[in-house]
Amino acid sequence: MLLGLVSACGTTQSGLNAYDRHDYQGAAQTWAPLAEEGDADAQFFLGTLFEEGRGVPQDFLEAHEWYLLSAHQGHPEACTNLGLMYHNGAGVERSHDKARRWFERGMDAGSTLSTSNLGVLYLQGAGVPRDLVRARKLFARAADDGLAKAQRIHAQMLEEGLGGDRDTTAARREYERASDQGDAPAMTRLGMIMMRGERSASDEDRAAELLEQAARQGDADAQLVLGWMYHAGVGVEKDPATAQTWLSAAANDGDALSQSSLALAFLGTSEERFDADAVEAAAWMRLAAEQGFVAAQYNLGLMYVRGQGVERSRDEGVAWLRRAAKAGHAGAAVKLDVLGLRRRVTDGS
């Protein structure tokens, strides 16, 4: 992708201006002759057009060739993009070893993205021995260079004590730095940290603000937490409608916990066993239960036993309760005891 991180001559800049106007053909026409003449910036930019298929037919091999020409001249972001192509197997045979080598060259040439990507390889042990200490140092370096993703990952390693001592104070600072750049997962995590334990009203306000920003960016975890805050009235004024809006956004991504949470929110506004909210709750609870979410299996079992949102069916309810009990849900086992069916569950029948 284009990063705007390289200096460019006036002619190359005119190509960037065309790109920013979404005139990709114009950008290609500007950069192609310069690239042919050996301009490293133009070669890199032309490579991105072929990789993205903008202004030219998408052609990963052609992109690879232009990146390669640019990288051999020491272009840092061309090295980064070559590393990504080998890491992802985009148009080339996947090779973590080649990805590592290009990321190392990119880092040496000054690419912060290469530094962070190299950290990912050592964090995952992809093509290199897993080395959390080295990964943490690489993320710290990229974080200090201002890369939000690296700041967030570095924060997670500090928070969990991966690759070094646990330091929650430093972790929070890193989450703050990434959040200030609009990194949604960092905002979500920082908001959750601010809602833990003793907190002031200003902490709650700041947490709600961060979570809403992240939720609006589509972060499902933020949508889930914010939905529960509105559902329970924690840190914000209780608002069932807003709770359902955010929980629905998270549940629509297919996350079982979010689906189960949304079901419980609908149950909270249900006034009758078979009103619209109860029916909606049962539908979401089934989606979560069918994914194997044990708490949802238990709750769906209860809903069938009670006839809440579904036609009452003792057999269907018992079946879901058995599944939950076999997965270790204590409440399901107790309920089956009450129904006189515990023995059959423990016997595996």
**pLDDT over 90 for what percent of the chain?**
82
Which tokens hold the place of 195? 């809602």
For the chain, what is the largest distance between any 2 Cα atoms, rounded to a whole number of angstroms? 84
342 and 258 in a common domain: yes
Residues 295-314: tens digit of each pLDDT: 999 999 999 999 999 999 99
Q: How many residues does the chain have?
A: 349
The two three-digit tokens of residue 318, written as one number: 């018992």
Does 265 lie in the same domain as 237? no
Q: Is 126 exposed, middle or buried (0-12, 13-18, 19+ CB in 10 A)?
A: middle
The mean predicted confidence, pLDDT, of the chain is 91
pLDDT for residue 349: 45
pLDDT of residue 340: 75
Q: Are residues 307 and 327 in the same domain?
A: yes
What tokens appear for 98 in the block? 């080649």
Q: What pLDDT is attached to residue 9?
A: 43
Q: What is the pLDDT of residues 137-159, one digit of tens each?
A: 999 999 999 999 999 999 999 99
Residue 21 is given by DSSP the state T
Please calculate the CA angle 329-334-339 and round it to the nearest 5 degrees: 125
Could you tell me if residue 341 is inside a domain? yes
8-47 pLDDT, tens digit each: 344 678 888 999 999 999 999 999 999 999 999 999 999 9
Closest CA to 171 of 148, 144, 192, 151: 151
**pLDDT in the model for residue 8:** 39
263 lies in the same domain as 322:
yes
Query: Residue 305: which residues within 8 A CB-CB, separation 6 or more?
Result: 312, 314, 317, 318, 321, 335, 339
Q: Taking each helix axis as running N to C, give the angle between helix 148-160 and helix 168-180, from 0 to 180 degrees, rounded to the nearest 10.
A: 160
Q: Reply yes or no on whether the pLDDT at 274 is more than 50.
A: yes
* Domain edge (last residue) among 250, 270, 304: 250
Burial 142-169 (b: 16+ CB within 10 A, else e): bbeeebbbbbbbbbbbbbeebbeeeeee
Answer whether residue 135 is part of any domain.
no
Question: What average pLDDT score do residues 276-290 get?
Answer: 95
pLDDT-based confidence at 200, cuts 50/70/90? confident
Q: Quick check: helix, strand or coil at residue 329?
A: coil
Per-residue confidence band for 348, with pLDDT thresholds at 50, 70 and 90: very low
Q: Mean per-residue pLDDT for 45-50?
A: 96
What pLDDT is attached to residue 11? 64
What's the pLDDT score for residue 341? 63
**Does residue 29 fall inside a structural domain?**
no
* Enclosing domain of residue 239: 204-250
Q: Both 208 and 262 in a single domain? A: no
CA angle 233, 237, 240 (to 5 degrees): 65
Q: Rounded mean pLDDT of 233-244?
A: 91
Q: What is the DSSP string of 250-297?
A: HHTTT-HHHHHHHHHHHHHH--STTSHHHHHHHHHHHHHHHTT-HHHH
Q: Is the pTM of this model over 0.85?
A: no
Check residues 345 and 200 and name the one with the higher pLDDT. Answer: 200
Mean pLDDT of the 269-274 span = 74
Whether pLDDT at 95 is above 60 = yes
Asked if residue 338 is part of any domain, the answer here is: yes
What CA–CA distance (Å, rounded) separates 138 from 83? 16
Q: Specify the pLDDT at position 104.
A: 97
Are 121 and 103 contacting, i.e. CB atoms less than 8 angstroms apart?
yes
- pLDDT at position 2: 42
User: Given a cut of 70, is residue 345 above it in pLDDT?
Assistant: no
Q: Which of 86-90, 164-168, 199-203, 242-246 has the lowest mean pLDDT?
A: 199-203
In a domain, 180, yes or no: no
Does 349 fall in a domain? yes
Given phi > 0 = left and psi -120 to 50 = alpha, else beta, which region is 24?
alpha
Are residues 244 and 270 part of one domain?
Answer: no
pLDDT at residue 1 in the model: 42
Same domain as 258, residue 325? yes
Could you say which of 194, 225, 250 is where a domain stops?
250
Split into its structural domains, the chain has a count of 2
Same domain, 226 and 269: no
Cα–Cα separations (whole angstroms), residue 201 to 213, 225, 229, 234: 18, 18, 14, 11
Domain membership of residue 267 (yes or no) is: yes
The model's confidence at residue 5, banded by pLDDT at 50, 70 and 90, is: very low
